[in-house]
Amino acid sequence: MSILADRESRLFIDGKLVAGSGGTFETVNPATEEVLGVAANADEADMSEAIGAARTAFDDTDWSTNTELRVRCLRQLREAMQANLEDLRELTINEVGAPRMLTSGAQLEGPIDDLAFSADTAENYAWRSDLGYATPQGIPTNRVVAREAVGVVGAITPWNFPHQINLAKVGPALAAGNTLILKPAPDTPWMAAVLGEIIAEHTDFPAGVINIVTSDDHGVGALLSKDPRVDMVSFTGSTNTGRAVMTDSAVTIKKVFLELGGKSAFIVLDDADLGGACAMAAFTVAMHAGQGCAITTRLVVPRAKYDEAVEAAAATLGGIKPGDPNSKRTVCGPVISARQRDRIQGYLDSAIAEGGRFACGGGRPDDMETGFFIEPTVIAGLDNSAKVSREEIFGPVLTVIAHDGDDDAVRIANDSPYGLSGTVFGDDDRAQAVASRLRVGTVNVNGGVWYSADAPFGGYKQSGVGREMGVAGFEEYLETKLIATIAT
């Protein structure tokens, strides 16, 4: 497999690698602004063909009931990706701009390993359970609850952690017996297209079970929400786009999974190690240039220690310089595109306009003329009503907000349209009490790690609907059927 040299990826439809009817579109290295190569550009006809292939594979084959085959195929995919790990690592660093250090975790190796959880879950899952004998309406009845695949799943994914998010949908959806069409973000088409190449060369997936459609036209992906042949849409991305997915899916009453935006709070209580907590909050914001929906971008600290907290956060974040993602020492690489860099700069400008100040950072690095880089930035002097406190920036930007005690910290954290994640540092009992009051889907208490293949991930409020990963994420792709049989 040639990963980078003169690369031109293709669509994967009905078991075949094919050209896109719309020609090709370029993919760019965000660290150098150089064109890496091209990806197949699908049009609506290509997407319709992919949906038809998935529909036929679900309706006319035994894929949905052949658990042994599904488990074998997923394990083959995992083994093949591991065998091509170094090529995939270089591809990821170059197309995503992901720092090399992160590819040993959630940017590559972790998601590949997590395919084992999907396979193991399918292999050991209780597909049928006995609800027991009863006499509803006086009729002797034996009842069984069956769990079955939803059907055809459309998966739409973003560019920030493409392997993790692609495989967190592909793994459980296929393990559960569904067929699938994967539509990745135009910024990172190769991350998905390479799956088609690996599947075609190294696995026994039947034709049509998984289809991969790359396109620079977001309207092509929107067809997954609108087409009546699709039974479910699994979407990760912005809240605004999530609303559109939900609206389009409502016409045919599709099942919808949504993992959307976040504006998570890192709460520091007054008995916490202030310097250590603020340093951790700052470091977290710098990782992958802050391009993570669950990153805690609001640092909520005791008012009496506000200046000290700002200084501690700036000392850490100001010492992290954006750099070449190929370097083993880089934590903060580029953001994905010039468009995204300019969007972040707009937020930084709004902070100054609203009366804030930069304790460090505030724009593009003076010494980096190429690449889509933004300096890690600490914003001080604003409260929770500021634009940078309310909206998801998706960059290496930390806003420090003062609180007046535990109750006020909880109020500030929950005063957000989002509810994806949160962190609390302080005395364990107090921190646990604060964590229990946060309206979020995941909470880190004093450094605990919530990311794991067996742990459900998702949010409250406008951060989404449903859960990804864990058994809960697997069951998102199942329907429940009750079978009642007359007892004789």
Tens of pLDDT, residue by residue over 227-270, are 999 999 999 999 999 999 999 999 999 999 999 999 999 999 99
Q: How confident is the model at residue 4 (pLDDT cuts 50, 70, 90)?
A: low
Mean local confidence (pLDDT), 408-412: 98
| Distance from C-alpha of 234 to C-alpha of 257, rounded to nearest angstrom | 5
Residues 97-116: tens digit of each pLDDT: 999 999 999 999 999 999 99
Would you say residue 306 lies in a domain?
yes
- Residues 242 and 154 reside in one and the same domain: yes
Q: Is residue 477's pLDDT more than 80?
A: yes
Residues 141-170: tens digit of each pLDDT: 999 999 999 999 999 999 999 999 999 999
| Distance from C-alpha of 445 to C-alpha of 457, rounded to nearest angstrom | 16
Residues 303-333: tens digit of each pLDDT: 999 999 999 999 999 999 999 999 999 999 9
- Residues 206 and 276 reside in one and the same domain: no
Side chain identity at 468, as an amino acid letter?
Answer: E
What positions carry a catalytic annotation? 259
Q: What percent of the chain has pLDDT over 90?
A: 98
| Distance from C-alpha of 256 to C-alpha of 233, rounded to nearest angstrom | 5
What is the radius of gyration, based on Cα positions, of the chain? 23
Q: How confident is the model at residue 473 (pLDDT cuts 50, 70, 90)?
A: very high
DSSP summary character for residue 383: -
Q: What percent of the chain has pLDDT over 70?
A: 99
Would you say residue 450 lies in a domain?
no
- Residues 273 and 192 reside in one and the same domain: no
Enter the pTM of the model: 0.96
Domain that residue 388 falls in:
265-445
Helix crossing, 44-60 with 218-226: angle to 10°?
Answer: 40
Would you say residue 454 lies in a domain?
no
- Residues 89 and 228 reside in one and the same domain: yes
- Residues 170 and 279 reside in one and the same domain: no
Q: How confident is the model at residue 7 (pLDDT cuts 50, 70, 90)?
A: confident
Q: Which pair of tokens denotes residue 116? A: 């084992």
To 5 degrees, how large is the angle CA 7–CA 12–CA 13? 150
- Residues 46 and 188 reside in one and the same domain: yes
219 burial via Cβ count (<10 Å: 0-12, 13-18, 19+): exposed
Give the pLDDT of residue 81: 98
Q: Which pair of tokens denotes residue 124? A: 């050991």
> Contact, 236 vs 220, CB < 8 A?
no
Our measurement of the distance from residue 318's CA atom to the centroid of its chain's CA atoms, rounded to an integer in Å, reads 27
Would you say residue 151 lies in a domain?
yes
Residues 354-397: tens digit of each pLDDT: 999 999 999 999 999 999 999 999 999 999 999 999 999 999 99
- Residues 111 and 132 reside in one and the same domain: yes
Work out the mean pLDDT of the chain and round it to a whole number.
97
Give the pLDDT of residue 2: 47
CATH number assigned to the domain comprising residue 166: 3.40.605.10
| Distance from C-alpha of 189 to C-alpha of 40, rounded to nearest angstrom | 9
Q: Is residue 452's pLDDT more than 50?
A: yes
- Residues 69 and 195 reside in one and the same domain: yes
| Distance from C-alpha of 3 to C-alpha of 482, rounded to nearest angstrom | 48
Would you say residue 231 lies in a domain?
yes
Q: How confident is the model at residue 5 (pLDDT cuts 50, 70, 90)?
A: low
Exposure b/e, 426-447, CB count within 10 A at least 16 = b: beeeebeebbeebbbbbbbbbe
- Residues 221 and 295 reside in one and the same domain: no
> Contact, 221 vs 155, CB < 8 A?
no
Mean local confidence (pLDDT), 35-59: 98
Beta strand 418-419 with 460-461: parallel, antiparallel or unpaired?
antiparallel
Which residues, listed in sequence order, are joined to residue 20 by a DSSP beta bridge?
23
Q: Which pair of tokens denotes residue 412? A: 């500030």
Residues 22-33: tens digit of each pLDDT: 999 999 999 999
To 5 degrees, how large is the angle CA 302–CA 262–CA 333? 90
- Residues 312 and 178 reside in one and the same domain: no
Give the pLDDT of residue 3: 56
Give the pLDDT of residue 1: 43
| Distance from C-alpha of 400 to C-alpha of 74, rounded to nearest angstrom | 44
Residues 272-306: tens digit of each pLDDT: 999 999 999 999 999 999 999 999 999 999 999 99
Which of 351, 346, 401, 400 has the alpha carbon at shortest distance from 374?
A: 346
In terms of DSSP H, where are the helices of 102-177?
109-124, 162-175
Give the pLDDT of residue 407: 98
Q: Is residue 6's pLDDT more than 80?
A: no
- Residues 290 and 421 reside in one and the same domain: yes
- Of the CA atoms within 13 Å of residue 291, those in its CB half-sphere come to 29
